[in-house]
Amino acid sequence: MKEDVVICRCEDITYGEIVDAVRGGLTTTEEIKRILRCGMGPCQGRTCSRLIVRIISQETGVPVAEVRFPVVRPPSRPVEIGVMAAGGPPDGNPSGGEYDAD
Ligand code: FES
């Protein structure tokens, strides 16, 4: 894979940056998340986590099944602060209706 391929679109982190981090000693998804912010964007890692696990596996030789995914903390979807301040959406839909397509 080319080094300039963006793996984490939310935080604009490339394949090369992740490989450099792993080769520099960051061998867990949590370490990469803390240093590069991968998984901390609006999608909360839904787009990039699996790719990062594969990169760690490729670089360390640890099987994919043994590389742990980062801890996901709520809210797992973006929620406008006004919705939280109001105690929830007026219709009771926790997503505010914004992500009903899932
Ligand atoms: S793509 Fe990485 S946090 Fe969204």
Tell me what pLDDT residue 76 has.
66
Q: Which residues line ligand 1 (CB under 6 A)?
A: 8-11, 38-41, 43, 45, 47-48
Residue nearest to atom 1 of ligand 1 (CA): 8
Question: Does the pLDDT of residue 71 top 90, yes or no?
Answer: no
pLDDT value at residue 15: 98
Sorted by where each begins, the domain ranges of the chain are 6-85
For the chain, the straight-line distance linking the first and the last C-alpha, in angstroms and rounded, comes to: 30
pLDDT digits (tens, 9 = 90+) for 15-60: 999 999 999 999 999 999 999 999 999 888 989 999 999 999 999 9
CATH class (in words) of the domain with range 6-85: mainly alpha
pTM, two decimals, is 0.73
User: So what's the pLDDT on residue 94?
Assistant: 57
Q: Is 2 exposed, middle or buried (0-12, 13-18, 19+ CB in 10 A)?
A: exposed
**Pocket mutation for ligand 1, best pick of 5, 9, 50, 55 (most atoms within 8 Å of C-beta):** 9
Which residues, 6+ apart, have CB-to-CB distance to 4 below 8 Å? 14, 15, 16
